[in-house]
Structure 1
């Protein structure tokens, strides 16, 4: 029995180690360079500030993932550096950090940056960022040099488009993709080009989207109907021009989006009763798009807390917000309940006849603790004002 308990404890310990996130070294810059030289690894620096929301999101939701930790711990000496305190101030200047978070990968021998990325990245993109730092032909330094030199080889264009997309540089990624499809063998039929298009090229005014619509049956045969329809749905999710949407080939969800976009048009035209009749039909029969309807309500109803709507539409927004809170599939997502509670609290506080009937604990601000409902993390400081 003792042996069994020991083995079980060992297994649990191993699992904990295997699933830990990034191990950031708590040391000086000089010590980090020495460690990196000894371990023969580049240095990964997360430049952050104490007021940066995306920085905190990366720290709490991405750096803590086991797959991310396994990769970064294996390949880098990892540092978290506050760009506004201590030696972080000079290091941020040295590596020309202008936004947060910024991820800098450094050669410890030369102290030169070999790869720079940043922004709020998902798991897949952040792993791509780290992998790019290890490939000499995918680092930002190499890609920028090649871009300035006018390299138009297909594989370079593909790599540069992905890098630009990881930095949310839509203009550059789209430009590369449009160049790419002019190369023999690199149309949307190519799985690599299709993958780039699906993940990183957005909007309906680019050549790739137009290429898809021009021969949709061919691409459905190559990539599958579900993949093609999913891409069309995503790019047409906001399409206020009814004629433009009607001209796009039919796909699963087009009817839903047509009704949703018509509802948006009616709301913009302040035709609230017409909008409500249309939306109520969608609520009664959402089909396979209940989650998408909930997401629509999340953003559509928020304006009721700061715009001067007629009473009828304020009540409908509260009704739709409640529907969203009751029906969103992800029951652990805090923002769902926050949005509904914000709507409800605002409605109660702006109707004196209702407020009079509320107990004092709901009419007055709390005596202790936070004074208002907020999703802002307590540890996130206010951004300093520019002098």
Structure 2
């Protein structure tokens, strides 16, 4: 009996520990959270969200629930969620000038002033880097912006400033800061610091650094390796449909795929569907192409028929593509592949009255109970209000 009781207690303890993993968000007002934080000598973390925001829900379910995130956050912060469109969140969003969702505030509970601000959807490690910066006075966004406005252009400071702009998705200030750092340090891409900044942040093919990167390609390959240089070129030219520009840059791994995909888009736009179909089949059969990339691109093309009027001829081809992807996805874990295939079959059934006699009303009509639309959108998300 004692052994059974001990086992039950151990299981209960494990359940409690599991239930407490992740960030503990207080069910209190902002003022009450600040009072509690003062009492516990902690900072306040505010997650500003909306009920329709997909990235907000993703962070709430995939990052904030992680044990490693909760351990750090619960030790250093008193946390609260604030809905920017309801209750006290409306005034909070106005006062703290919330412009996007999710937005994260790290606040001094004594003054209620923002020490650090960031936002967006991140993997756990990136989010924890944002958290770490909030606890380091000279890495906080408020310090970085203030010093920059004062005219601080010390190279070491500029690196911190650039890192901060990248983490907060402040693309305009990020690009400007990189240009200023280049003006200070020079544009030698073999410099380890500048080289890493280039690979991480410069994707504009018209940027002077990118043009120099292409012009000095042999030197770049010697410094960083051909594989990394090819990967950078592929990422930057991925959606380039200018044949002359592509030819001018020379060969790199993945270029043949970009050219093939551009031909496919052209055939579709010209409604040369038989030729487009032949290209798609070649892409599926080409073992030198990354088939996960191929399937994702063709899936995007195929599902466009759900959002715009499509030729019935082209729709028939799309059925074949979405079926192929659902059947052949190598990882077999992507729910969207099966969702797209089921959705297009349902669309065809509903669009063709003559087919209805072969299917029960539950397929051809809206369901009598529950949801009326087939969707992968989480039931936890509401529709974004129209402004």
The question of a shared fold, defined as TM-score above 0.5 by the shorter chain, is answered with yes
The answer (yes or no) to whether the contact 1:178–1:208 under 8 Å persists in 2 is no
Q: How does 1:256-335 map to 2 (within 5 A)?
A: 256-335=257-336
How many angstroms does 1:19 deviate by? 9.2
Which ranges in structure 1 are unaligned for 5 or more consecutive residues? none
Q: How does 1:1-387 map to 2 (within 5 A)?
A: 9=10, 13=14, 16=17, 20-184=21-185, 187-386=188-387
Q: How many Å separate the matches in 2 of 1:118 and 1:207?
A: 29
The answer (yes or no) to whether the contact 1:178–1:206 under 8 Å persists in 2 is no
TM-score by length of 2: 0.88
How many angstroms does 1:61 deviate by? 1.6
Q: How many Å separate the matches in 1 of 2:145 and 2:75?
A: 27
The answer (yes or no) to whether the contact 2:350–2:365 under 8 Å persists in 1 is no
The worse-fitting range, judged by mean Cα deviation, of 131-140 and 107-116 is: 131-140
Q: How many Å separate the matches in 2 of 1:333 and 1:12?
A: 35
Which ranges in structure 2 are unaligned for 5 or more consecutive residues? none
Let me know the Cα RMSD of the aligned residues.
Answer: 3.0
1:273-329 superposed Cα distances (whole Å, 9 cap, x missing partner): 222222221111142410000110121112222434333321222212222223334
Give the 3-state SS of the residue equivalent to 1:301 in structure 2. Answer: helix
The answer (yes or no) to whether the contact 2:257–2:289 under 8 Å persists in 1 is no
Q: How many Å separate the matches in 2 of 1:238 and 1:381?
A: 33
The answer (yes or no) to whether the contact 2:105–2:114 under 8 Å persists in 1 is yes
Q: How many Å separate the matches in 2 of 1:147 and 1:80?
A: 30
Q: How many Å separate the matches in 2 of 1:142 and 1:373?
A: 48
Change (3 A) 1:157 1:271: farther
Change (3 A) 1:265 1:180: farther
How many angstroms does 1:253 deviate by? 1.4
Q: How many Å separate the matches in 1 of 2:360 and 2:294?
A: 34
The answer (yes or no) to whether the contact 2:33–2:78 under 8 Å persists in 1 is yes
The worse-fitting range, judged by mean Cα deviation, of 22-31 and 240-249 is: 22-31
Q: How many Å separate the matches in 1 of 2:203 and 2:92?
A: 35
State the 4+ residue runs in structure 1 displaced beyond 6 angstroms: none
Q: How many Å separate the matches in 2 of 1:328 and 1:191?
A: 39
Q: How many Å separate the matches in 1 of 2:330 and 2:125?
A: 23
